[in-house]
Amino acid sequence: MMDFYDKLSLRHPKQLFCRLNVRDNEELCYAAVIEYLPTFIYYMGGQEIDREVGTDKKRVENKLKKHKAELPDAGGGIGGV
């Protein structure tokens, strides 16, 4: 999935993508309620607006496109873990 994630970030350069190691960021994972891997969390305006858990690449990318279209300037602000 990391290869898919890296390619996805290249195809959507105006969006912010963040990846973290759960072992090194346990407190953040607890605060974000990350229970399964991989977990993709979509944020807009600093608020979580959606999430996708699992390895369904189509669902991950479709949610990204959906939320990207909802942005006023079709700019950034959406990312995943």
DSSP string, 18-72: ----TTT-HHHHHHTT--SSSEEEEEETTEEEEEEESS-HHHHHHHHHHHHHHST
pLDDT of residue 53: 95
Q: What is the CA radius of gyration of the chain?
A: 12
Splitting the chain (81 residues) into consecutive groups of 10 residues, what average pLDDT does each group show?
A: 92 88 93 93 91 95 89 55 47
Which residues, in sequence order, are bridge partners of residue 43?
A: 48
pLDDT of 68: 85
For residues 60 and 40, the answer to whether their CB atoms sit within 8 Å is yes
